[in-house]
């Protein structure tokens, strides 16, 4: 094993003596491969136990550290539930007594026998036999010394974990690696640190992992969060600058094109749609490629904006391509783009390219694209296969863009002879600060209003006692000629999660609930998903039992009920997406959030969805409540907890952006900031997920 002197920040974590091969594999699941990764992964929180205290001074619900002697210690098996435990009596130096219990650790009776001196740190509870601690941290002490605990009590780190790794073990790994913190390169320029009042990276890492006080940790956390946002914003600024240097064919604005487009729509564009379309047109006129994110709520009409851009590109003699994550969504787009464009623009043909087509049909579409005989090709991943080429690609559109990795988006952009203008769309409303953090290389257009005539969806939380009322509503709506979705969290039964799976729920509903209705099933593993959806859209089935495969894009105007089983198991943004699948016609629609969990936390969360129809408000509230870790896959972008927490403070992100732009203004190549240049490269690798 290498000595600490022989190791470097880039050495694998397995080079640490305390990290066994199995530990290294587990740490890899947390994104920790090197010693640098380990040091830069700060605890996300701390247990504050404080200095040792008298038992007599403790109260119910407190977190505390206690030092004393074990008066008695015995391993037991409970009579009723047969739980193995160690039960001990701890007497402090003032003669006060507290009961201590460790579950499923019978070996502690031998490790901490009567007479042993020990420190424990945990949560105090008041029980029928007085004060007690359950499963506290413990540290054996010298029986003849006055030295207090060195490993427990005070502040104890809480790290993100995987099975087999505890926060205590993580702290041990970090303690061994911490001498190498002095080798960490300073990414933040000295003037930035001075302006922002931030400590250096070495101090931040040491204080972040081994703070003396909670204030130390907050100082470290702020510095690490700012540095991370600064790296991201520097990377995004470089991407924007590099993109601006690439040539693209300008697409001139032509009033007669937009006039013809609007005349053929059959409905009025909303103010938000008009604003977003104009922003895109302005980008497309430039000789550098557009790189814009169209962020709109469900049903807000993003496709119409994209279609207007396709029409303008076609008028300039250029082709367009639209890539969707699923065949269901691609076929739906095909219908919409054809209805928006083909009648209004003679000669503008729209084709489909998906993997389920016959080989001759795919070959015909590829030839049409390569020869320039079609204006728009709509498809799935099949579009980025090697044998797909375009004669003159001017516009690339990606729908539900977070479903595709950077590499896939780049493969689509490379389908033309030059760099096409690029428009990404997402139906998951993203708070502005999160959009800037995750997609800072893009300009953002927001469609924050729904078309007139959209009836608000009546949303209600249904407890297990009211389930029959939900079923009655479905029957009533089917009797009126409508249809319903039933969403389940899993495809198959799981022994671990007691949730209603789609396959089991289909059989249960057929047998016990909707014997007289026509039920069908769709999930992600089915080969004939599209056939099932076509049957549903043709009204050949009344109730569609489904998994999250229908989360985005599916448009069935006749469906008026969205019933979501196990609603507590979905994120708020996902629930909002499901809700957006109904209410797309003129009839009143309903979203029923069914849950068997009646805890206050779950009910409060679901009631928030029920009373918040605005997706942007819901996303912002969700971010404020639980952070941004799961929203839009922020954790997948390599963002730490500290940086994600900092996104609740928009001013910090703005300051990071301004500092990054100031550095690049004076050092475009970052030649005078080598550590920052290396950090930006690492950051770009983290955000380029395929």
Give the residue from 147, 182, 217 where a domain finishes: 182
- The domain spanning residue 534 has which CATH number? 3.40.50.300
| C-beta of residue 502 within 8 angstroms of C-beta of residue 543 | no
- The verdict on 593 and 481 lying in the same domain is yes
Specify the pLDDT at position 496. 44
Residues 389 and 416 in one domain: yes
Selection from 97, 93, 86, 171 nearest residue 134 by Cα: 86
Domain C-terminal end among 583, 612, 641: 612
Is 278 domain-assigned?
yes
Q: 417 lies in which domain range?
A: 255-285+301-426
- Clarify whether residues 146 and 15 are in a common domain: no
What pLDDT is stored for residue 142 in this prediction?
86
Kindly report the backbone phi and psi dihedral angles of residue 372, in degrees, each rounded to the nearest multiple of 5, phi listed first.
Answer: 85, 15
Same domain for 176 and 142, yes or no, is: no
Question: Which phi and psi angles does 122 have, rounded to 5°?
Answer: -175, -165
Contact (CB, 8 A) for 330 and 355: no
For residue 493, tell me if it sits in a domain.
Answer: yes
Does residue 441 lie within any of the structural domains?
no
Q: How many CA atoms within 13 Å lie on the side-chain side of 301? A: 24
332 in the same domain as 474: no
HSE-CB of 248 using CA atoms within 13 angstroms: 30
Residue 644 lies in a domain: no
Closest CA to 424 of 593, 572, 309, 551: 309
Q: Assess whether 259 and 405 both reside in one domain.
A: yes
Mark which of 405, 426, 447 sits at the end of a domain.
426
As for how many domains the chain has, the answer is 4
Q: What is the pTM of this model?
A: 0.76
DSSP structure string for 315-348: HTT-EEEEE-SSHHHHHHHHHHHHHHHTTTSTT-
Residue 427: predicted pLDDT: 82
Q: What is the pLDDT of residue 504?
A: 86
Is position 212 within any domain? Answer: no
Q: At what angle do helices 214-245 and 650-666 cross, to 10 degrees?
A: 50
Same domain as 542, residue 522: yes
| Same-domain pairing of 492 and 606 | yes
Q: Which CATH number goes with the domain that contains 13?
A: 1.10.150
Residue 665 lies in a domain: no
Q: What is the CATH number of the domain that holds 145?
A: 2.40.50.140
Q: In terms of domains, do 588 and 493 share one? A: yes
Spans of the chain below 50 pLDDT: 1, 495-499, 629-630, 632-636, 689-690
Q: What is the pLDDT of residues 404-451, one digit of tens each?
A: 666 777 888 888 777 899 999 988 788 777 787 778 888 999 998 888
Q: Is residue 491 in a domain?
A: yes
Closest CA to 152 of 128, 119, 183, 114: 119
Whether residues 23 and 71 share a domain: the answer is: no
pLDDT score, position 636: 45
Assess if residue 149 is contained within a domain: yes
Nearest to 591 by CA among 574, 578, 606: 578
Pairing of strands 45-50, 154-158: antiparallel
On whether both 122 and 94 belong to a single domain, the answer is: yes
**In this structure, are 30 and 110 located in the same domain?**
no
């Amino acid at each position: 094993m290498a000595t600490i002197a022989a190791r470097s920040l880039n050495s694998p974590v397995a080079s640490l003596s305390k990290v066994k091969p199995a530990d290294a594999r587990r740490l890899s699941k947390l994104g920790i491969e090197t010693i640098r990764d380990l040091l830069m992964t700060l605890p996300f929180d701390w247990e504050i136990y404080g200095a040792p205290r008298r038992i007599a001074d403790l109260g119910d619900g407190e977190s505390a550290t206690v030092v004393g002697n074990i008066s008695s210690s015995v391993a037991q098996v409970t009579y009723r539930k047969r739980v193995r435990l160690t039960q001990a009596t701890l007497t402090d130096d003032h003669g006060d007594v507290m009961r201590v219990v460790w579950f499923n650790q019978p070996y502690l009776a031998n490790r901490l026998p009567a007479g042993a001196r020990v420190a424990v740190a945990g949560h105090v509870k008041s029980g029928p036999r007085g004060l007690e601690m359950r499963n506290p941290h413990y540290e054996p002490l010298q029986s003849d010394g006055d030295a207090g605990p060195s490993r427990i009590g005070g502040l104890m780190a809480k790290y993100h974990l995987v099975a087999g790794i505890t926060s205590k073990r993580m702290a041990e790994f970090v303690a061994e690696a911490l001498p190498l913190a002095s080798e960490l390169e300073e990414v933040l320029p000295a003037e930035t640190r001075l302006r922002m009042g931030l400590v250096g990276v070495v101090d931040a890492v040491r204080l972040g992992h081994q703070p003396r006080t909670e204030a130390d940790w907050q100082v470290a956390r702020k510095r690490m969060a700012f540095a991370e946002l600064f790296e991201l914003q520097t990377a995004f600024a470089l991407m924007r600058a590099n993109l601006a240097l690439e040539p693209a064919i300008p697409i001139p604005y032509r009033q007669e094109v937009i006039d013809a487009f609007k005349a053929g729509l059959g409905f009025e564009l909303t103010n938000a749609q008009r604003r977003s379309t104009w922003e895109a047109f302005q980008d497309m006129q430039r000789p550098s490629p557009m790189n814009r994110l169209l962020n709109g709520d469900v049903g807000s009409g993003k496709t119409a904006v994209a279609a207007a851009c396709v029409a303008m590109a076609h008028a300039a003699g250029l082709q367009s391509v639209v890539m969707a994550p699923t065949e269901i969504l691609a076929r739906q787009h095909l219908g919409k783009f054809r209805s928006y464009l083909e009648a209004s623009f003679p000669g503008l043909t729209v084709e489909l390219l998906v993997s389920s087509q016959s080989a001759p049909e795919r070959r015909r579409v590829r030839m049409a694209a390569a020869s320039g005989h079609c204006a728009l090709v709509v498809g799935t991943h099949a579009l980025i296969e090697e044998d797909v080429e375009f004669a003159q690609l001017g516009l690339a559109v990606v729908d539900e863009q977070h479903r595709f990795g950077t590499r896939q988006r780049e493969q689509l952009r490379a389908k033309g002879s030059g760099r096409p203008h690029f428009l990404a769309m997402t139906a998951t409303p993203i708070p502005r600060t999160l959009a800037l953090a995750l997609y800072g290389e893009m300009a953002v257009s927001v469609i924050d209003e729904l078309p007139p005539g959209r009836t608000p969806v009546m949303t209600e939380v249904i407890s297990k006692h009211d389930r029959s009322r939900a079923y009655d509503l479905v029957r009533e709506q089917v009797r009126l000629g409508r249809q319903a979705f039933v969403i389940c969290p899993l495809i198959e039964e799981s022994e671990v999660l007691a949730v209603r799976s789609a396959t089991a729920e289909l059989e249960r509903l057929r047998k016990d609930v909707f014997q007289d209705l026509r039920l069908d099933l769709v999930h992600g593993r089915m080969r004939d998903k599209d056939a099932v959806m076509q049957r549903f859209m043709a009204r050949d089935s009344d109730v569609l039992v489904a998994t999250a495969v229908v989360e985005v894009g599916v448009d069935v105007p006749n469906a008026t009920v969205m019933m979501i089983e196990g609603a507590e198991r979905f994120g708020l943004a996902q629930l909002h997406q499901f809700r957006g699948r109904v209410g797309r016609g003129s009839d009143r629609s309903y979203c029923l959030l069914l849950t068997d969990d009646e805890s206050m936390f779950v009910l409060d969360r679901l009631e928030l969805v029920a009373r918040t129809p605005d997706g942007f408000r819901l996303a912002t509230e969700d971010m404020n409540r639980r952070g941004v870790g799961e929203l839009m896959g922020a954790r997948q972008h390599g963002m730490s907890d500290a940086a994600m927490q900092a996104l609740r403070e928009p001013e910090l992100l703005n300051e990071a952006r301004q500092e990054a732009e100031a550095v690049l203004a004076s050092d475009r190549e970052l030649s005078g900031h080598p550590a920052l240049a290396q950090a930006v490269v690492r950051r770009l690798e983290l955000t380029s997920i395929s």
